[in-house]
Amino acid sequence: MPDTIPFPSAQVRFGSSSGQPLTRRDGFLKVTGAATFAADNHPENLLHAVVAVSTIARGRVVSLDVEAAKAHPGVVEVITPANCPPLALDPDEKHGLFGFRFDALQNDRVRYAKQPIALVLAETLEAATEGTRLLAPVYETEPARIGFDNGEPYAPATVGVGGAPDFDRGDLAAGLAAAAHLVDTEYETPAQYHNAMEPHAIVAEWDGDTLTIDTPNQAIVLSRAAYAAFFGIPPENVYLRSPFLGGGFGSKAILAGPQILCIRAARMLQRPVKLALPRDQMFGPVGHRGATRQRLRLATDAEGRLTALEHHAVATTSSFDEFIEPAANASHNLYASPAISTRHGAVRVDTGTPGPMRAPGEASGSAALECALDEAAAAIGIDPLEMRLRNYAETDPATGRPFSAKALRECYAQGAERFGWAGRPLAPRQMTDDAGRLVGWGMGSALFPAPMFQAEARATLRADGTALVETAAADMGQGAWTALAQIAADSLGLDIEQVEFRSGTSDLPDGGVAGGSGHTATAGSALHNAGTDAIAKLAEIAVNDPASPLFGAGNAGVEAREGRLWHREDETRSEGYGDILARSGMESLEGSGTGGRDPADAEARAMFSHGAVFAEVKVDPDLGQVLVTRLVGAFAAGRIINPKLARSQLYGGMIWGLSFALHEEAIHDRRTGRPVNADLAGYHIPVHADIPAMEALLIDEDDRYVNVLGIKGVGEIGITGTVGAIANAIWHATGVRVRRYPIRIEDLIG
């Protein structure tokens, strides 16, 4: 790509909607309970399904007392491997990059605790639940392999979604040999479960060979095809509705056994069936973040400049499938080093298969990298912010490519200013508050890729001057439908109130995946292109019509705003959309557009969002209790379509980071392999009292290359940087460097 490329986003006219902090359009429906989530659907003649799950982690089911369950007056059917009709595709095969192997009663094997072993269908939820209790499974139990040291190590072929496990750039040995300082350190992160507020739920109904499903889903059209494939029907025979999601975080982007079982039961019994997983069943068949063990070697010269950066990560995965948390990749793109070397290993354990979970790789990897860098700064005796500035990457360290835009320096400066970082004592254990608590300040850098996927959209101008825009986008609470409607309104030169935004069902143009922090960029580009296509078609009609005041203006001589086309050079010449359509006898006019990135553009520049997070903690010196009293993040993520929603996403990410640092850990009993804290009492996540004060600053960034709208993403970056910032602040407060998450009271006392 030549350096003289014109600035595409400068050609985009932003109207009254983009950039406005509009409130979520679905907010009122949600707070009043009017929003219909999947489990709120009650079709006539509905059957309730409850999954019976294994209480062992490895072995086989020898017997189930199906007769006892069926004898329950409300129970209609019990589905087990013995009577389960086959699927059109084998769930033990890999079907595409996003396809995970799953358990849908294909045999009697048990591969993890909480695995489905039967499905009970009943007239009521209570009867179905009681039915599962009557099954009294008898197992043949094999010892569970839990934890890094008990699992089976192996070398994965890929990490994350199709990524390479190893990466080398520069001469690592030379970089290590040249070092004045070397930090050699190891960090551990635990298994974490998505735990969206809304557990996975599905209502399935068949009409002949046509299937309607209500289920929360992050990739509606893609998933429609996957569901269709498993049931041997064409994709257009599947109608998937996912208007509201109570969180997804990656786990609702994948197909899993429970959803498939529900659809199968509905077909078998020829009745609509509802299945909503209870909370404890979220700790098994629907994905999680694998645990990691990460070794880092940071070699620096006397002034703290990296001469080599080595990052080896080992992650847990299941015994039967792969998703390897690509944690070491966090060291590829953030800090300048003449030599970077990363490796990934894996250990098979008897849990469900991990999957993408908010900021896969970057979250865990950043949690280790940002602390290792802090260790290096402390060893050398320089300020952590100065350390990061000395290692500032002017070009992408992994590829040498220029960044499409990178306002990280501004993030550091404005974040530090807002936080009051200046004057931070270098040594730990120097600050206390009035109550005698130890006070510490720490920081971390944040980074997340700015990918684009593929999406399509349609925009229809209507005779009454309003418009209908359509794309099957997923709003999982992040506010996509609001931000996307803002983009659509501007592309059409309309007020957002004049735009009907239709989304969330599989019969619409493919809105792509709400994931990878690329949804607004991808679906937004498709909507923008659809809107401008409709306007271009309308303009062509007007400028070629002698009866129009715009006659002869030429396509480029017209612009769209306030529901009218205007002559660019003569303000007295304009015409409303409805008038143009009416005169040409048209009821409506349709435009279409796609969103995606030209591979050549992706090759030419490195595209990332960046940020800096500053944390203050107070630690009780006697009790070891940690309170994060302040969090300030500053983020540069291209053009912000809706600052209120973007901030809310960043807050959510930062809270997640706090949760990672101090709270979340799934604990599997080493004897049974069972998750022992499979509920929200035992699996800790922060509450309001854990988050006294936080700020997310949005740093201006004009990205001329990332896409036509200049949009990056904000969904995941907030986690990165935050975990390390808090851990580093705890070190600064106490002088104790904890290298295993979550950081606990017992790590800080004694």
Which residues of this chain interact with ligand MOS, rule CB under 6 A?
218, 248-250, 253, 356-358, 360, 515-516
Q: Which of residues 357 and 748 has its CB atom nearest to ligand MOS in the complex?
A: 357
Q: Which of residues 79 and 286 has its CB atom nearest to ligand MOS in the complex?
A: 286
DSSP 159: B
Q: Report d(CA 274, CA 121) in Å as an integer.
A: 9
**Residue 573 Cβ vs ligand MOS, minimum distance, rounded to whole Å:** 47
Q: Which of residues 357 and 725 has its CB atom nearest to ligand MOS in the complex?
A: 357
**Which residue has 């700790």 as its token pair?**
283
**Residue 505 Cβ vs ligand MOS, minimum distance, rounded to whole Å:** 20
**Residue 610 Cβ vs ligand MOS, minimum distance, rounded to whole Å:** 18
DSSP per-residue codes, 295-337? EEEEEE-TTS-EEEEEEEEEEEE-SS------GGGGGSSSB--
Q: Report d(CA 450, CA 444) in Å as an integer.
A: 19
**Residue 649 Cβ vs ligand MOS, minimum distance, rounded to whole Å:** 12
What pairs with residue 253 in β-bridges? none
- Identity of the residue numbered 472: A
For residue 644, give the nearest of 704, 698, 578 by alpha carbon: 698
Q: Which of residues 272 and 287 has its CB atom nearest to ligand MOS in the complex?
A: 287
Q: Which of residues 17 and 292 has its CB atom nearest to ligand MOS in the complex?
A: 292
**Residue 250 Cβ vs ligand MOS, minimum distance, rounded to whole Å:** 3
Tokens of 235: 């994709």
DSSP per-residue codes, 575-609? EEHHHHHHHTT-SEEEEEEEE---HHHHHHSB-EE
Q: Which of residues 204 and 523 has its CB atom nearest to ligand MOS in the complex?
A: 523
Type and span of the H or E element at 611: strand 608-619
Q: Report d(CA 15, CA 688) in Å as an integer.
A: 37
Query: Is the link from the previous residue into 742 a cis peptide, with omega within 30 of 0?
Result: yes
Type and span of the H or E element at 629: strand 626-636
Q: Report d(CA 197, CA 700) in Å as an integer.
A: 32
DSSP 352: P
Q: Which of residues 460 and 707 has its CB atom nearest to ligand MOS in the complex?
A: 707
From the candidates 77, 130, 375, 716, give the one annotated as an active-site residue.
716
What is the distance, to the nearest Å, from the Cα of residue 613 to the centroid of all Cα atoms in its chain?
19
- Specify whether 716 is catalytic: yes
Backbone angles phi, psi at 461, to 5 degrees: -80, 135
DSSP per-residue codes, 198-222? S--EEEEEEETTEEEEE---SSHHH
What is the distance, to the nearest Å, from the Cα of residue 396 to the centroid of all Cα atoms in its chain?
23
**Residue 515 Cβ vs ligand MOS, minimum distance, rounded to whole Å:** 3
**Residue 483 Cβ vs ligand MOS, minimum distance, rounded to whole Å:** 16
Instruction: Say whether 718 sits in a helix, a strand or coil.
Output: coil
Catalytic residues: 716
